[in-house]
């Protein structure tokens, strides 16, 4: 009998692509054949993928109900990453296909990145560097620089990454508050942080607002004009979760008009930035959806997704199932 097929779908331009799939092959050796299928970011799912016993997706086209209906013998769809909004999980569940993600691979990296953005904003690192490189020494942003101790660091979503971020921010002396309507009562007490009852309350209190919730129908566009208006003029907004949680137009307008002190975004709505005007937005730091990046994190993520695929093709229980 031929071995089962595990297909890895990877965009052609993706920098972490590895046609040899060395990490996955080491996990699946003797259990399954591994084929890497390059595809365009908005292209069609290759015919070979429809024959696979398990699919591992990086980034790419939306795996909708029509695609799922055409899968011949798929026993698991695995998202190489935390987010799974590119897969129709209900359609997959209707066909009995588990959809799994890798929610814990980049916890350290994303939490580190969120703190790096927050500290860079609070201490005005980029304006100071620009001043020094102009051979000046005026410290023109002295009035914008913040002492960290005692400032309120508000976290939206206290999952793995939100918790890791809270611990890091607490070590810097921030007062940590969070809002997460799905967290069990009392779970925050072990961390020594404060819970608030509503997003509005958190936005009013915080000097830094850091987003750490998943993108869902509930959270899409959750931070918009009304929410930004609740924040203090001195507040910094950080988003290392999903771009579509924060509405780009009202955020950039608030930055241009001085109604918000600054923003540090690893992700943006409709990424990447589209115009020179967007790129010129004042008091804005943008990184390239790179918070998760590190060689160690990539190996950890790929190993986990390959292990889930191995369990699936062996008809063993899978984990990290989201449907």
| HEC readout, 281-307 | CCCEEECCCCCCCCHHHHHHHHHHHHH
Rg (the chain; Cα; Å): 22
From residue 93, alpha-carbon distances to 69, 77, 296 in Å are: 11, 11, 32
Contact yes or no for 234/262 (Cβ under 8 A): no
Nearest to 215 by CA among 264, 254, 297, 159: 159
Q: Which helix (H) or strand (E) holds 129?
A: helix 125-133
- Beta-bridge partner residues of 156: 179, 211
Q: Which residues contact 263 (CB under 8 A, 6 or more apart)?
A: 121, 236, 237, 238, 239, 251, 255, 283, 284, 285
DSSP state of 175: E
Tokens linked to 111: 């939490």
Tell me which residues are annotated as active site.
242, 271, 289
Spacing of C-alpha 273 from chain mean position: 17
DSSP H stretches of helix in 235-293: 248-256, 276-279
């Amino acid at each position: 009998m031929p071995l089962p097929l595990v297909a890895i779908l990877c965009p052609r331009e993706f920098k972490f692509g590895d046609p040899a799939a060395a990490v996955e092959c080491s996990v699946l050796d003797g259990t399954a054949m591994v084929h890497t299928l390059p595809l365009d970011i908005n292209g069609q799912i290759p015919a070979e993928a429809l024959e696979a016993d398990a699919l591992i997706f990086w980034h790419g086209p939306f795996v909708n109900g029509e695609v799922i209906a055409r899968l011949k013998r798929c026993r698991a769809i695995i998202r190489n990453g935390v987010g799974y909004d590119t897969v129709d999980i209900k359609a997959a569940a209707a066909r009995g296909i588990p959809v799994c993600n890798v929610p814990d691979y980049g916890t350290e990296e994303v939490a580190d990145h969120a703190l790096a953005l927050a500290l860079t904003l609070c201490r005005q690192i980029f304006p100071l560097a620009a001043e020094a490189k102009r051979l000046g020494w005026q410290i023109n942003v002295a009035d914008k620089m913040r002492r960290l101790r005692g400032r309120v660091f508000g976290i939206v979503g206290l999952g793995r990454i939100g918790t890791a971020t809270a611990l890091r921010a607490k070590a810097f002396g921030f007062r940590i508050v969070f809002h997460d309507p799905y967290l069990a009562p009392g779970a925050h007490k072990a961390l020594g942080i404060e819970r608030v009852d509503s997003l509005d309350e958190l936005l009013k209190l915080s000097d830094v607002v850091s987003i750490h919730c998943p993108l869902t129908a509930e959270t899409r566009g959750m931070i918009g004009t009304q929410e930004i208006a609740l924040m203090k003029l001195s507040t910094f907004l950080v988003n290392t979760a999903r771009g579509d949680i924060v509405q780009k137009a009202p955020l950039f307008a608030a930055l241009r008009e001085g109604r918000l002190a600054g923003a540090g975004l690893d992700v943006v709505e409709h990424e990447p930035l589209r115009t020179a005007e967007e790129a010129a937005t004042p008091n804005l730091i943008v990184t390239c959806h790179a918070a998760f990046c590190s060689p160690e994190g990539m190996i950890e993520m790929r190993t986990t997704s390959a292990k889930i695929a191995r369990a699936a093709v062996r008809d063993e229980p899978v984990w990290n199932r989201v449907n």
